[in-house]
Amino acid sequence: MTKPEACIFDLDGVIVETSDAHFNAWQRLAESLDISFGEEFNEQLKGVSRRKSIEKILALDDRELPEDEIQQLMDKKNGWYQDSIAELTPDDILDGVPEFLEQLQEMEIPLGIGSSSKNAPYIIDYLQLNSTFGVIIDGNKVENTKPDPEVFLKGARALNADPVKTIVFEDAASGVEAANRGGFVSIGVGSEEYLGAADLVIQNFKDLTPEKLFNQISDK
């Protein structure tokens, strides 16, 4: 692939590792409801909205609750989650990510965030990444959550980029599906086991240069 028109990054699990904090808070909530789930089920919660996550957890036990209770449960989980992310600092940005972003900036490639999280603005603040991204589309700005491509399509539009010539970086199967459905070049960040639908899977950003990556994409 030649130089892309833009690069859009998922936040949780790509720029910073927050999935354990999400997992722990959901597990704590599920335990209080006498519902249990493990890491494999947790993969299904990655990338999807808070609302969809609670629905999936309740469905594990065919549980139906009134709307106000569902709302209270989501607030409780979010309170625990927010307590844990309040500790984040720029040192928590994943290895190799700052260098990779810097190189993209030097190449004058527009950068965006496409996240399902309504907490994304806080996380970006804690990580001091506000000036790095030309656009931040998060869970507050979309109607349809991943695997719907809305979040990435809005990002590409704001960056004036053609999805076909835009790279999306994602750690969740739902996010890879969203990128593929939107016609983007999808890069899975993590394990081939869950992200096999991506155009290319990388383990992480350590020692990765944009040039190396673009070459690998054209090699496919």
- The site map against Mg ion for 123-162 (x = CB under 5 A) is ----------------------------------------
Closer by beta carbon to Mg ion, 13 or else 139: 13
Binding-site member from 115, 132, 180, 186 for ligand BG6 (CB under 6 A): 115
27 binds ligand BG6 (CB under 6 A): no
Q: Which strands sit side by side in the sheet containing 166-170, from one edge to the other?
A: 135-137, 111-114, 6-9, 166-170, 185-189, 200-202
Closer by beta carbon to ligand BG6, 137 or else 210: 137
Rounded CA-CA distance 157/163 in Å is: 9
Closest approach, Cβ 49 to ligand BG6, in A, equals 5
Cis ω for the linkage preceding 147 (within 30 of 0): yes
Q: What is the full DSSP assignment across 150-177?
A: HHHHHHHHHTT--GGGEEEEESSHHHHH
Closer by beta carbon to ligand BG6, 50 or else 210: 50
Element (H, E) at 124: helix 120-126
> Of 76, 68, 67, 75, nearest to 32 (Cα)?
76
Q: Please, which of residues 166-185 interact with Mg ion by CB under 5 A? A: 171-172
Output the six-digit token pair for 2. 């030649």
Residues in the site for Mg ion, rule: CB under 5 A?
10, 12-13, 171-172
Would you please indicate which residues are annotated as catalytic (active-site) residues? 10, 12
Residues in the site for ligand BG6, rule: CB under 6 A?
12, 22, 45-50, 53, 78, 115-119, 139, 172
